[in-house]
Amino acid sequence: MRKAHKGSYYFPELSNHEEEIELLRQVSLTASELEKSIFKELNISKKAKILDLGCGPGFISAQLAKFFPSGTVTGVDSSKELLRQAKIMQQVEMLSNLNFKHGDIYNLDADVSDFELTYLRFVLQHLKNPVGALVSAAKTLRSGGILCAVDIDDEQSQLHPAPAALKSFNQRAVKWQAASGGDRNIGSKLKKYFLAADLLNPQVMVKTLSSRDIGIDNFIDLLIKTRYPVIPDAEQEAAQKEVEEIYAVANDPVAWGTMDIFVATGIKR
């Protein structure tokens, strides 16, 4: 099992690096319209200086750089391998307003500062100390800057008709993510954490991603694949059986699902 202090996402210990990067690409593409609607509602200047904290392979950093072409975007991540991928992507896409930097969210360099927007997408759910991470993330902002965290709460996700295996798979994934220091049900706690981190005017809105928008296959992928890596080898076989039962629902013409994406914002004093 991965070391607890690393939280529940430690890239070097994931079993299949290429698959994981491909999954992050798929998630960023299937949710890109939703992501754009978040960027729009943040109401920041088109020339903003933006930080994508926990940027991974940089797919969201690239979306930010394209959405704010007159702004500048910096992606920071603790995984050197993911940053290497991000830099390749940045060169291929020729995004001159995008750069990447290595850093640990709990211990960022002093020059990671003065941002108008700091964005954390699917990062807090993996961290042992989300409030500590938010305090640290707030330090990257100029006064009046916006901290925005996008995350999930699996208790609010639905798949119908619900196979019995969905409940046991959910419980398994939540249990193992928690064992590594993460929290897959963090979405509904974000406002409380933003207040604890002393951000001004914390607000939470919910955006719903549905099988109608992204197709039932993509929807089940999001439900399953993003949680699979936290399950230890000893439980992979049992989890695999559950997963097969869950994927079978995609063949049912009446199948549908929704997933609530929690978007929390707060302002730096």
Ligand X SMILES: C[S@@+](CC[C@H](N)C(=O)[O-])C[C@H]1O[C@@H](n2cnc3c(N)ncnc32)[C@H](O)[C@@H]1O
Q: How far is the CB of 32 from ligand X (least distance, A)?
A: 11
Q: How far is the CB of 56 from ligand X (least distance, A)?
A: 3
Q: How far is the CB of 163 from ligand X (least distance, A)?
A: 25
Told to check if 63 binds ligand X by CB under 6 A, we report no
Told to check if 126 binds ligand X by CB under 6 A, we report yes
Stretch that binds ligand X, among 90-98, 118-126, 151-159, 177-185 (CB under 6 A): 118-126
Contact, 189 vs 257, CB < 8 A?
A: no
Binding residue (CB under 6 A) for ligand X from 50, 123, 159, 216: 123
Told to check if 184 binds ligand X by CB under 6 A, we report no
CA 166 and chain centroid, separation: 22
Nearer Cβ to ligand X (31/165): 31
CA 184 – CA 167 distance, rounded (Å): 14
Cβ-closest position to ligand X: 56
Nearer Cβ to ligand X (11/68): 11
C-beta neighbour count of 58 within 10 angstroms: 28
Told to check if 11 binds ligand X by CB under 6 A, we report yes
Told to check if 122 binds ligand X by CB under 6 A, we report yes
Nearer Cβ to ligand X (24/165): 24
Long-range contacts of 215-221 (CB under 8 A, 24+ apart): 216/249, 216/250, 216/255, 216/256, 216/257, 217/250, 218/26, 218/30, 219/159, 219/257, 219/259, 220/159, 220/246, 220/247, 220/249, 220/250, 220/257, 221/23, 221/26
Q: How far is the CB of 75 from ligand X (least distance, A)?
A: 9
Which candidate, 125, 146, 104, 161, places its Cα nearest to that of 262?
125
Told to check if 9 binds ligand X by CB under 6 A, we report yes
Binding residue (CB under 6 A) for ligand X from 55, 62, 148, 264: 55
Told to check if 75 binds ligand X by CB under 6 A, we report no
Residues forming the site for ligand X (CB under 6 A) = 7, 9, 11, 24, 28, 54-56, 59-60, 77-79, 82, 104-106, 121-123, 126
